[in-house]
C-alpha cells in the first residue's frame, strides 16, 4: 500500500472503509509506504508503534503520538514500513519501494523452489 502526500490522506482517514483496508494491510505484514502527509492515514493504524519513520515536518508530532520514533531523513525503511518527507525525496522513496518489492518477489520465488 502506497499512501500519497498532500491533503488526500486527511480525507482518506475519515473513511471507515479506508481505515479498515489500511489496518488489514498492516496486520497482514504487507509493504506500507507513505510520503509527506501520507503518514496521517497511518496514524489511524498500529504500524508506527515502536518503528522509525519520517514525514512532512507539519505532521511530525502526529506520527510521534502514534508511536513512531521520528527521523529527519529523506527516506526511512523500517521493515515493511517505508516513509519519506516531501516530493524532493521521491527518488529515494521510489527506489526503496522498488528494492523492497524486488526482494519480496525474490523471496517468494526461492520459497517456491524449496
Scan for cell 524486488, then name that residue. 102
Catalytic site residue 94? Answer: no
The answer on pLDDT for 111 being more than 90 is no
> pLDDT (tens digit, 9 = 90+) per residue, 39-95?
999 999 999 999 999 999 999 999 999 999 999 999 999 999 999 999 999 999 999
Q: What is the pLDDT of residue 108?
A: 56
Quote the distance between the C-alpha of residue 105 and its chain's center. Answer: 19
In the chain, how many domains are there?
A: 1
User: Domain range for residue 50?
Assistant: 2-113
| Longest pairwise C-alpha distance within the chain | 47
CATH of the domain at 91: 3.40.50.880
State the virtual CA torsion across 21, 25, 31, 34 in degrees, nearest 10.
Answer: 40
Q: Give per-residue pLDDT as tens, 14-54.
A: 999 999 999 999 999 999 999 999 999 999 999 999 999 99
Reading the block at residue 67, the C-alpha cell is 508511536
7 versus 61: which is more confidently predicted?
61
d(CA 27, CA 93) in angstroms, rounded, equals 22
Residue 85 near residue 36, CB atoms below 8 Å? yes
Report the alpha-carbon distance of residue 96 to residue 101 in Å, rounded.
Answer: 9
pLDDT at 6: 93
pTM here is 0.90
Q: Which of 36, 43, 55, 75 is catalytic?
A: 36
Spatial separation of the C-alpha atoms in residues 10 and 30, rounded to whole Å: 22
Task: Classify the C-alpha dihedral 42-35-61-80 as positive or negative.
Answer: positive
Q: Is the pLDDT of residue 112 over 90?
A: no
DSSP 50: T
Amino acid at each position: 500500500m502506497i499512501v500519497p502526500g498532500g491533503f488526500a490522506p486527511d480525507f482518506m482517514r475519515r473513511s471507515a472503509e479506508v481505515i479498515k483496508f489500511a489496518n488489514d494491510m498492516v496486520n497482514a505484514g504487507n509493504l506500507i509506504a507513505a510520503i509527506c502527509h501520507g503518514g496521517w492515514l497511518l496514524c489511524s493504524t498500529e504500524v508506527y508503534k515502536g518503528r522509525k519513520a519520517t514525514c512532512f515536518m507539519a505532521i511530525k508530532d502526529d506520527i510521534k503520538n502514534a508511536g513512531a520514533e521520528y527521523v529527519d531523513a529523506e527516506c526511512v525503511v523500517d521493515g515493511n514500513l517505508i516513509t519519506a518527507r516531501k516530493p524532493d525525496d521521491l527518488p529515494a522513496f521510489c527506489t526503496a519501494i522498488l528494492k523492497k518489492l524486488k526482494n519480496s518477489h525474490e523471496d517468494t520465488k526461492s520459497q517456491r523452489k524449496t
